[in-house]
Amino acid sequence: MKISNVNKTFGTKQVLFNVSLDFPAAQTTVIVGPSGSGKSTILRSLNLLEVPESGRYDFDDLHLDFAKKISNRQKLALRKKTGMVFQNYNLFPNKTVLGNLIEGPTQVLKQSRAAALKTANELLAKVGLAQYGGANPQELSGGQAQRVAIARALAMNPEYILLDEPTSALDPELELEVLKVLLQLAREKQSMVIVTHNMIFARRVADKIVFLENGHVLFDGAPQRFFAPNNPNERIRNFIASMTMENLN
């Protein structure tokens, strides 16, 4: 999956400038950067929740030119390949946990209810919630709800899952439950793109780090290089230092 020369403007404000990025399959790409730098806009563009005004998007045999109209068929094909997980879970409140997990597979993928339930139960076990199929979303902690949202994304069997600050609404212990699940998925070579402010997690999980500032890619490479104390980019060194509070005396 890759984007090339992407530009995005909201009103009169340009928020992405000629962004080109590769998101390798079977790897975890982590996008970091200050608030307002364009991280969510990139992630949402990968799912076509936003459509940039120019640039290319290549994903397997799909080749989109953002300057041209994107057909519904292309949009659907792309959304099947990408599962989105949001900060606030966005579970269907009036469905049980299992109901949330089988909705897409039965309605969109036309799976039988029995097949969808089988997969759903396997996925719940995988995220440590095997006993929660009958629960309502309101009964779940934030960490549990987010793990259900991850299972729901996986139930659609997308090629990539895209996660936008999946743990920023959670307290640290609940966050850890979610991060463990994501680390496990990364070990299983699930293709992922994760936006996070958690630098400790980024360092652990990333195969590749992207640093954005003001809509420009300032770094695109290996976490070892990104987090190296001798990273030649002073702005990045300062960003890491503030995010890890290493200069808090």
Residues that bind ligand ATP (CB under 6 A): 10, 15, 33, 35-41
**66-69: Cβ within 8 A, 24+ apart:** 66/6
Residues 6+ positions from 196 with CB-CB distance below 8 Å: 30, 31, 32, 163, 165, 166, 167, 168, 202
The closest of 189, 248, 226 to 24, measured between CA atoms, is 189
Q: Could you tell which of ligand ATP, Mg ion, none binds residue 41, using a CB distance below 5 to 8 A set by kind?
A: ligand ATP
CB closer to ligand ATP, 35 vs 72: 35
The site for Mg ion (CB under 5 A) is made up of 40
- DSSP reduced 3-state for 224: helix
What does the block give as tokens for 224?
A: 């070892």
Q: How far is the CB of 26 from Mg ion (least distance, A)?
A: 25
Structure tokens at 81: 């390949």
Tell me the residue nearest to Mg ion as measured from the CB: 40
Closest CB to ligand ATP among residues 19, 140: 19
The DSSP output letter for 35 is: T
Which residues have CB under 8 Å from 15's CB, separation 6+?
8, 9, 38, 41, 215
Residue 104: name its binding partner from Mg ion, ligand ATP, none (Cβ under 5 to 8 Å by kind): none
36 interface partner picked from ligand ATP, Mg ion, none, CB below 5 to 8 A per type: ligand ATP
